[in-house]
Amino acid sequence: MSHRKLCAAALLALALPGCAAQTGPQSRPIAAARPLPMTPSAVPVAAVPAASGAGETVPQRLARYTPVRLTTDLSKLSESDRRMLPLLIDAARQMDAIFWLEAYGSREELMNAIRDPQTRTYAEINYGPWDRLEENAAFIPGTPAKRPGANFYPADVTKEEFDRAVAGGGARADSLKSLYTLVRRDEGGRLVAIPYHVAFRPYVESAAASLRQAAQIAGDPGLRRYLELRAQALLTDDYQPSDLAWMDMKDNTLDLVIGPIETYEDELYGYKAGHESYVLIKDREWSQRLARYVALLPSLQRGLPVAEEFKRETPGTGSDLNAYDAVYYAGEANAGAKTIAINLPNDEQVQLRKGTRRLQLKNAMRAKFDRILVPVARELIVPDEMGHVTFDAFFENTMFHEVAHGLGIKNTINSRRTVREALKERAGGLEEEKADVLGLYMVSQLAQRGELGQRDLRDNFTTFLAGLFRSVRFGASDAHGRAKMATFNFFQEMGAFSRDPATGKYRVDYDRMQQAVNALSAKILQLQGTGDYAGVGEFMTGYGVIKPQLQQDLARLSAANIPVDVVFDQGMSVLQP
């Protein structure tokens, strides 16, 4: 499942205020970190639109995003909630500042080097000069390729060097691989780990102060405790207590996700969590409709279409399933394609003890359905199946995708490692694909049990196929997009849908789609359970690609001026009456 005042090159040198005297392991002084390969002088200062490798200008790239105002009915908030809201947004803005530094470096230096307003806007959307919808291709001439490790690691580090540094295990290896450290070099060139709360001290101190001020106002005791513990976590990098407190709070209307959470930005190893935030307001009416599904998780786990050894873990039943209106996205959550649902915490110990919280971002979801998914379906789904493309099915598919993250296996069956540790940077994409197919498995199982009322499963399957077309346009640089590509190709291979060569439109074979769901579920759970790093690589190399025919069909969507994703107009100014 964060905005904008940076201190230029200071973080790149790790010379943030209050950090100069910090030392790395064994008390070696930390040298200035080497900056990103692209310096401001290497960025063109002439007005761009610059042509990309795909031949698109920046204005054409901007047209792939459609603007959406993130608004909601504030009358559902108490007086204390209304007073808290700007403080939560202030804290979120600090995550934006940190993520710029993690993904690229100095935002100010990049923006000052770009004269063309549209190029500057596109860099803001992408948190750097690389297009997240085009597999991180540079859209500014002279920009080098984006490093897989982003700015989490030294520019010149190699996998071989890093692997040697952690091969001996112990505290140093743990700190280098930690979710919550930057890797830099000391004065002798040795790799050292710098805790986030040290490297980003001014930002986390500002965010923590806002959270503590909001906690003093909070009327709900569970929310108050969570905000206090999350503020402490930002200052210590110890997030588990606040994750547990977040799972315990039940009666809050305002909600906040904040901190270093997902590891998608680290494509070198998938070790480093990027900073992000969501400010949310619970929709209690919709949430009540969803609550009953959580209790069904253990029985759904037992029925997974895979060998017994891959489903022995019991998912926590403390999970919440709620609908929210999002009022602010920041940091990694706001970079490129936008998330419409969240499943957290990621901590496997918390998941097994408490379950997870699944947050459906209803207003963002509705915008994507109306403005993107329906036009995509009209272009690529046969007309007589368009009646099966519905918002309720889109909501359910998205919801059960998030619920399905809690199913399956968190720890490998042949070692003491977690799946995430075993699969490294390949874990994220495979986990997203697992959630897709197990989400459809859940829909099928619940429909058979009569839990979905009169739901026509054809709605879910057809809407799912339309959703694949929508999501594969995110490209292979996005874990969700890569997962959708692999699912599309696997399903196509199994005959789950067919393409009419005369019209270029697709038809679902509902029986074969169900068979494909079971087969792909078993395949993914086996890869995860065995921690098969090489096997996941082979699977994604074979299936996680856009083939020529699909590429031609997706080009029709661009020709029809159907946007790829949304960009938000958000913040307190939008929420004011």
Per DSSP, the three-state class of 54 is: coil
- Does position 575 have pLDDT exceeding 80, yes or no? no
DSSP sequence for 281-297 = EEEHHHHHHHGGGGGGH
- Average pLDDT on 489-506 reads 96
Instruction: Judge whether 85 and 575 are in contact, CB under 8 Å.
Output: yes
Four-residue CA torsion sign, 342, 345, 349, 354: negative
What pLDDT score does 576 carry?
63
Percent with pLDDT over 90 in the chain: 65
The number of beta carbons lying within 10 Å of the beta carbon of residue 99 is: 27
- Category of 63 on φ-ψ map: left (φ > 0), alpha (ψ -120 to 50) or beta: alpha
Confidence of residue 147 (pLDDT cuts 50, 70, 90): very high
Position 414 scores a pLDDT of 85
Distance in angstroms (rounded) separating the CA atoms of residues 97 and 59: 26
Residue 41 has pLDDT above 70, yes or no: no
Residue 33 has pLDDT above 80, yes or no: no
DSSP state of 503: T
Residue 96 has pLDDT above 90, yes or no: yes
- Can you list the alpha helix ranges (DSSP code H) found in 275-426? 284-290, 297-302, 348-354, 362-368, 374-380, 391-404, 419-423
Q: Which band of pLDDT confidence, cut at 50, 70 and 90, is reported for residue 325?
A: very high
Report the candidate in 177, 323, 345 with the shortest Cα–Cα distance to residue 260.
Answer: 345
**413-432 pLDDT tens trace:** 987 789 989 998 899 889 98
User: What confidence score (pLDDT) does residue 2 get?
Assistant: 34
Strands 191-195 and 181-185: antiparallel
Query: In Å, how far are 69, 253, 277 from 574, measured between CA atoms?
Result: 7, 19, 18
Cα(36)–Cα(151) distance, integer angstroms? 7
Reported as a pLDDT band with limits 50, 70 and 90, residue 1 is very low
- Per-residue confidence at 302, pLDDT binned at 50, 70, 90? confident
Task: Compute the chain's Rg from CA coordinates.
Answer: 23
- The token duo for 491 is 């399903």
- Six-digit token string for 143: 């920009």
| pLDDT-based confidence at residue 37 (cuts at 50, 70, 90) | very low
Q: Is the pLDDT reported for residue 105 higher than 80? A: yes
Q: What is the mean pLDDT of the chain?
A: 86
Taking alpha carbons only, the member of 126, 67, 121 closest to residue 100 is 126
Q: What is the pLDDT of residue 29?
A: 33
204 compared with 11, residue with greater pLDDT: 204
Residue 380 neighbours by CB distance under 10 Å: 23
User: Whole-prediction pTM value?
Assistant: 0.77
What is the band of 54 on the pLDDT scale with cuts at 50, 70, 90?
low
Long-range (24+ apart) CB contacts under 8 A made by 492-498 are 494/519, 497/465
Q: Alpha-carbon distance 381 to 466, whole Å?
A: 7
Look at residue 36 in the predicted model and tell me its pLDDT.
32
Better-predicted residue by pLDDT, 399 or 345: 345
Binning pLDDT at 50, 70 and 90, where does residue 378 land? Answer: very high
What is the helix (H) or strand (E) element at residue 520, kind and residue range? helix 510-529
DSSP 372: I
Mean pLDDT, rounded, for 253-281? 96
pLDDT at position 301: 85
> Does the structure show a pLDDT above 50 at 372?
yes
Q: Per-residue pLDDT averaged across 378-386, rounded?
A: 97
Q: Which of 23-32, 118-127, 202-211, 444-453 has the lowest mean pLDDT?
A: 23-32
Q: Which residues lie below 8 Å from residue 329, measured CB to CB, with a gap of 6+?
A: 2, 70, 276, 277, 278, 338, 339, 568, 570
Q: Is the pLDDT of residue 482 over 70?
A: yes
